[in-house]
Structure 1
Amino acid sequence: MAYDYAAFPYTAPAGLTAPEPRHPVAIVGAGPIGLAMAIDLAQHGVKSVVLDDNNVVSVGSRAICWAKRTLEIFDRLGVGDRMLAKGVTWKVGRLFHGEKPVYSFDLLPEEGHKYPAFINLQQYYVEQYLVERAQEFPDLIDLRFLNKVTGHTDNGDHVVIDIETPDGPYQLEADYYIAAEGAASPTRKRMELSFEGQTFEEHFLIVDVEMQKSPFETDSPERWFWFAPPFHHGQSALLHKQPDNIYRIDLQLGPDTDPKAEATEEKVIPRIKAIVGDTPFRLDWMSVYKFRCAKLENFVHNRVLFVGDSAHVVSPFGARGGNGGIQDVDNLGWKLAAVLSGDAPASLLDSYHDERSHGSSENILNSSRATNFMTPKTPIEALFRNEVLNLAETHPFARKLINSGRLSQPCSLHGMPLQSGEHPLVGQSLIDAPTSDGWLIERAQGAFTLLSFGDDPAPQVDGVRALHITDPGPELVQRYGAGYYLIRPDGHICARFDSSDTDQINPALARAKGQTQ
């Protein structure tokens, strides 16, 4: 494969020879979600132990599309710039029906944002960067590879965890246990928790192909999606460019596919040649899969918390899986830190379920709609899909009905319990803009922040960072106007005020911390 896999070192854990002190947080799974969770907690001063049964980054590119909001979260975690430098930046998507172009769309037509609409970057690079970042917190993050969790017991005020290592078994205790093991979560299975949702019977082939240049190359990288292309009759296809001259190709195969037969060079190479013609290529990785759009009924089970694919799964179309998981981390990290420090009641963790279950429901709805549009189940559905595509070539209204994977957007928390007021920006995630001292997202994430503009600075409020911008540029004025904005550590705007009256600000802050109903 193109990526040079190297094993992370295994160290015999202290618990093999003597009981360990209770850990504040145990994180099970060292994928992007678990690693990001540990870094987020470390930035809040919370210690964690990360337990993983493996000792290498993920095999194959897996998640590759990282959305603007996710990149802004990664910026706060300390890896955003590195991901941007390595990743392939894109914002234009192009749709085809057969050989005919239908239309193209621009996901970020305006300037004035630090990060682009999307980058493509293989999951193994993201995991590598996160491991190296986690190693910068040796006193706060204890990375334990080849430590397989085999069982756990929730004792009400802490969790006891059973672990297997190359040197034998041991136990440790943690105040909280975070399951970040992915869609096949052993924790979820041990607890006999079911996923509720829809299973799709269609099979899809993912292939990573190394080639110096795609025959579809444009001046800048784009997402190309075909409905019923000439090279893959009656099905759909997707092409993305990744770093290192790796191209992701997704091909719909149908519900009656034999996955073992399809995931072979004998089957795959002719399919790729039908797409790229005489262009030389090398297979780097391939997988055949089908998927569900489903989630847990509750993400919070006393001291056991589920994040990422352990809590919810979606189709890969729309880049909602990895991005949704990182937004879980962003939502949970500051809340768990506040509970552990005594700055918020334990009931604040219930809002993690409320808000992220809401977000995952939105992702599941969009992913299900996309998959149903891409894979019509009846002749009537196929007729509707094809007529929409025909109309969209010349009638813009029909383009809104096309769904090839509506791409990841942060969900709004407007009207949910931790937010105050009815201003349209309340509940939205922070909208970036340039300032005289850097980007807004660099200055207003990671802690409760009171943002103000113009002549009247924000007042000092206990536990809140005051951020006053004396000379807001046109982007800030256009996106925020005047007023005072209370921003949560995860970058969501939880209140907006016309004046700097602390009699309004303090109750909104208490509500955001779950200290009032």
Structure 2
Amino acid sequence: MAYEYRPFDYVPPPGLTAAEPRHRVAIVGAGPIGLAMAIELANHGVPAVVLDDNNVVSVGSRAICWSKRSLEILDRLGVGQACVDKGVTWKVGRTFHRAAEVFNFDLLPEDGHKMPAFVNLQQYYVEEYLVARAQAMGIELRWKNKVVAVERHADHAVLTVETPDGPYELEADWVIACDGARSPVRGMLGLEFEGELFEERFLIADIQMQADFPSERWFWFEPEFHNGQSALLHKQPDNIYRIDLQLGWDTDPEVEKQPERIIPRIEKVVGHKNFTLDWTSIYTFQCRRLRQFVHGPVLFVGDSAHIVSPFGARGGNGGLQDVDALGWRLAAVVKGAQPAAILAGYDRERVFGADENLLNSSRSTRFMSPEDGVERLFRDAVLHLASRVDFARPMVNSGRLSRPCTYPLVAPDADLPSGARPGSVAPDAPFDDGWLLDALGREFVVLALGQEAPAVPGARGVQPALNDHLRRRYLGSAERAVYLIRPDQVVAARWLTATPDAIAAAMAAGWGG
């Protein structure tokens, strides 16, 4: 592979020689979600120990499309700019039927945002940056520590961990399972996914080549180079290109992953042989989740809680939104500032978010791989019309791309712009000499526009000088407004004017989502 893997050092854990004091939080899995979870908790002053059965970053590019919201979260964790600097920035997607372009979109048509719409960056780079950040913060990362058993109690959990030097036990008040789609922790607790397994397979191939393809997402239905199927092309750093090819359910995965089968397929896509295979994988579409994400002292985050088909980039991005919704709540519980009952807010919101992702992912999958009958007739009719009439083009579904969901909060609202309504992520905007999201911090914020910020215990007042972006995104035609924004940068409530008591009541309700 083009990426140079550097193994992390295994250090014998103290639990091998003596019982360790109970940890506040143990995180299972040092992928991007587990690492982000540890950093987010550390930002709130809560230490966590991270256990991983491996000692390198992810093998293969895996997740590559990081959305604007994910970049904002990663920026808050200290690695967002590194991801943007290394990654391939893009915002335009093009969809083709055979050789004709039938639809395109621009994900960020306006300026005034710190982060771009999307960045393509291999998962191993994201993990590399997160590991370096975690190490710089003093977070304990235990490599080659494999969790093999989980025992739940009323107020803690006990993990049995295997290492190269033997097993040991580790107690933690809270265990966060970030151990992926095949989550061993989920299996140890006897928990099952619910949802759909689609009878369709796709080949992922990362190739290294010199090419002049633009930094755009290209998707084909029934291309001439892959007749009757679908294909996707993405540009990555280091002259790596991601190609996804639909294979069909009747194909043999073991046969199809052989280079002698893959290389001729890729030659048809790019039109030449001047490339090398970097990494390949074959996957099956799945749209499934746990019924709930909170199981006593064990919490599920990312792919361990839910899994979607990769079209739409909803896997890694959805996992980072889990981190966003859980970190500030769990930190408050660990510190004794809030009861454990507020974690039900994490469960409600992220089950809602997962269901939204599952719905979009299922619709994309059915459009790309319709069943014979009505589904195929509809898909083929849409593709036929899309090259001729405007109204059909938005109906072409090659993967509705990830964006943060708007939680259905019951909260004070006002006649203000819909993009900043309660439950939505606060839109970024230029703020004094920087950016609004940077100024919000990690606490409840009372954002006052066109008026003074009421003083509310437990919340910080922010009163920016108004500019066109702030006016358009937060005021619309109004002259003034007050927004209550949660520590995860979600709008908790808003008013044209508000008393401190009203804001305090909304803040109390905001912990539970």
Q: TM-score range by the shorter chain?
A: over 0.9
Please name the residue that 2:463 is paired with: 468
3-state SS of paired residue (1:347): helix
Give the match for residue 63 of structure 2.
63
Correspondence 1:362-441 to 2 at 5 A: 362-416=356-410, 419-421=411-413, 424=418, 425-441=421-437
Question: Match for residue 446 of structure 2?
Answer: 450
Counterpart amino acid of 1:250?
D
Among 222, 229, 233, the residue aligned to 1:239: 233
Cα 1:350–1:495, aligned 2, differ >3 Å: closer, same or farther? same
* Other structure's SS at 1:184 match: coil
Q: How big is each residue's C-alpha offset from its partner over 1:416-445, in whole Å with a ceiling of 9 and x where there is no partner?
A: 5xx444664111111111122211111114
Q: Give deviations 1:259-293, integer Å, cap 9, x for gaps.
A: 01010110011001111112511110001111310
2-side partners of 1:174 and 1:87: how far apart?
Answer: 37
Task: Spell out, residue by residue over 1:228-273, the C-alpha distance to the aligned partner (whole angstroms, 9 max, x if none).
Answer: 0000000000000000000000000000010010101100110011
Letter in 1 for 2:387: E
Residues in 2 aligned to 1:256 and 1:146: alpha-carbon distance in whole angstroms: 37
1:298 and 2:303 correspond = no
**Equivalent position of 2:511 in the other structure:** 513
Q: CA contact under 8 A between 1:76 and 1:446: conserved in structure 2?
A: no
Using the size of structure 1 for normalisation, the TM-score is 0.96
Match 1:266 to one of 257, 260, 267 = 260
Provide the C-alpha distance between the structure 2 equivalents of 1:420 and 1:13, rounded to a whole number of angstroms.
50
Residues 399, 263 of structure 1: alpha-carbon distance in 2 compared, 3 angstrom cutoff: same
The residue identity in structure 1 corresponding to 2:126 is V
CA distance in 2, matches of 1:21, 1:61: 37
Farther-moved stretch of structure 1 (183-192 vs 366-375): 183-192
- CA shift at 1:81, angstroms? 0.5
| Superposition RMSD in Å | 1.2
Does the Cα contact within 8 Å between 1:458 and 1:500 map onto a contact in 2? no
- Equivalence for 2:134: 134
CA contact (8 A) 1:211 1:279 kept: no
Measure, in 1, the Cα distance between the counterparts of 2:101 and 2:258: 31
Aligned counterpart, 1:188: 186
1:492 aligned to 2:487?
no
2-side partners of 1:9 and 1:371: how far apart? 41
Identity %: 59
CA distance in 2, matches of 1:311, 1:84: 28
Normalising by the residue count of structure 2, what TM-score does the alignment of the two structures yield?
Answer: 0.97
1:447 shift after superposition:
1.6
SS in 2 for 1:200: strand
Cα deviation for residue 500 of structure 1 reads 4.2
Residues 433-442 or 238-247, more deviating: 433-442
Dislocated runs of 4+, deviation >4 Å: none
SS in structure 2 opposite 1:135? helix
Which whole-Å CA distance do the structure 2 matches of 1:278 and 1:355 have between them? 48
* Contact 1:448–1:489 under 8 Å retained in 2: yes
Distance 2:35 2:414 in 1: 36
Q: For residues 446 and 94 of structure 1, what CA distance do their matches in structure 2 show?
A: 38
2:103/2:394 contact within 8 Å kept: no
C-alpha contact 2:414 2:495 (8 A) present in aligned 1: no
Which amino acid letter does the alignment assign opposite residue 364 of structure 2? A
* Residue in 1 that maps onto 2:220: 226
Local SS of the residue matching 1:40: helix
Task: Note the alpha carbon deviations across 1:395-428, whole angstroms, 9 max, x for none.
Answer: 2211221110000010111335xx4446641111
- In structure 1, stretches of 5+ residues that fail to align are none
Deviation string 1:286-329 (CA, Å, 9 cap, x unpaired) is 01111310000110011000000000000000000000000000
The 8 Å contact of residues 94 and 101 in structure 1, kept in 2 or not, is answered as yes
The question of whether the paired residues in 2 share the 8 Å contact of 1:159 and 1:177 is answered with: yes
Alignment of 1:281 onto 2:291: no
Q: How many residues align?
A: 505
Pairing of 1:32-431 with structure 2 (within 5 A):
32-138=32-138, 141-214=139-212, 217-218=213-214, 221-278=215-272, 280-416=274-410, 419-421=411-413, 424=418, 425-431=421-427
Judge conservation of contact 2:64–2:123 (CA < 8 Å) in 1: yes
Q: Distance in 1 between matches of 2:92 and 2:75?
A: 23
SS at match of 1:288: strand
User: Secondary structure of the residue that 2:225 maps to in structure 1?
Assistant: coil
**Residues 420, 162 of structure 1: CA spacing in aligned structure 2 closer, same or farther, 3 A cutoff?**
farther
The Cα of 1:463 is off from its aligned counterpart by: 1.6
